[in-house]
Structure 1
């Protein structure tokens, strides 16, 4: 199954177009985004891979902001993190990756937490600032506020940021992050076998 999703920032100019694919090897997201971050315009491309249980495995990220820069962040099955091939022991407790300018990276975390109404979960994430490409461990907490058949409402408390309410669809794909992002479209593509 493949899905194509588009988000826009709440108030700044920009857009993210993401293709999400599920197969036997896991979950694969590829995205192109353009945004204005803290007064700087960036264009970025990333490919993020998770195993079939939404555990982070690999991120390739390229950002163009007055020149191109890129990184590769990986986590092996033993939980060891590598940044551009070099060990990052300080990320050892991290379970997922969060990109400062992408609404998609909440999805793997929410899929892994699988919270019911009233439940919360705290996790360490490898947080990447997309302007500087700085990678650091940060604490993040999700609280499930309300579940309905077509959406779920969470509160996200991320270290160094004000709390945000996130509305996601049944696949934990962001519909709305109050005053941050809004989903514009989603299309599901399914391959039908020839009859």
Structure 2
């Protein structure tokens, strides 16, 4: 895997009139760190989001911090997982226990976590329990997501992502598992 820290990737949001994001996947001695940011501005909403997610070497999330700047001011949420038990802003939240991944609903950077961790073959799928963090509200909840690996196309791996609330979307990823295209949400720049 390449160290993406010197060359972050950028996405253009295609679901809003003005939106962009930037993210890096950084290998560390004891795991991986995802650093991401997003900005959205249209008639209905204006916000920026900044987040950090840390995993162990098996791509299991250990902690996440998400900060949003919006009309409501600056707000932050911090999550930590130890032994399958989760805390949010220091308070134990049993309904999140057993979740392995964090999905920050901003740039598609956190989709890399299950893609890298699961290592599924074409035509296989896995259901995963994730901690889903809404942006810009910072609401935190448990969500079941399904990742189904499709056959590669155009030299890139493809997955179908689905969940019961938002539906199904195709993801095209590069060799590092970073999203190139997220159907209906974002596409990579450059």
Same fold (TM over 0.5): yes
Judging changes above 3 Å, is the alpha-carbon distance between structure 1 residues 36 and 89 closer, same or farther for their aligned structure 2 residues? farther
* Contact residue 57 and residue 75 of structure 1 kept, 8 A: yes
Structural RMSD (CA): 1.7
Q: SS of 1:108's equivalent?
A: helix
Aligned with 1:70 (options 30, 52, 76):
76
2:10 to 2, 6, 18: 6
**How far 1:20 moved relative to its partner?**
2.1
Query: What's 1:180 paired with?
Result: 185
Q: Hey, what's the Cα distance between the residues in 2 that align with 1:122 and 1:52?
A: 21
Alpha carbons 2:85, 2:98 under 8 Å: kept: no
SS of 1:105's equivalent in the other structure is helix
Report whether the alignment pairs 1:25 with 2:30. Answer: yes
Whether 1:144 aligns to 2:128 is no
**Greater shift after overlay, 16-25 or 122-131?**
16-25
Among candidates 118, 125, 134, match of residue 130 of structure 2: 125
Gaps of 5+ in 1: 186-195
Q: What is the Cα deviation at residue 88 of structure 1?
A: 0.8
Query: Shift of residue 84 of structure 1?
Result: 0.5
- Measured after TM superposition, the shift of residue 59 of structure 1 is 0.7
TM superposition shift of 1:75: 0.7
Off by >6 Å, runs of 4+ in structure 1: none
Alignment of 1:25-64 (within 5 A): 25-36=30-41, 39-64=44-69
**Count of residues in Structure 1 that have an aligned counterpart in Structure 2:** 184
Residues 146 and 38 (structure 1 numbering): CA distance in 2 closer, same or farther, change over 3 Å?
A: farther
Q: Relative contact order (C-alpha < 8 Å, sep 6+): which is higher?
A: 1
> SS at the partner of 1:6?
strand
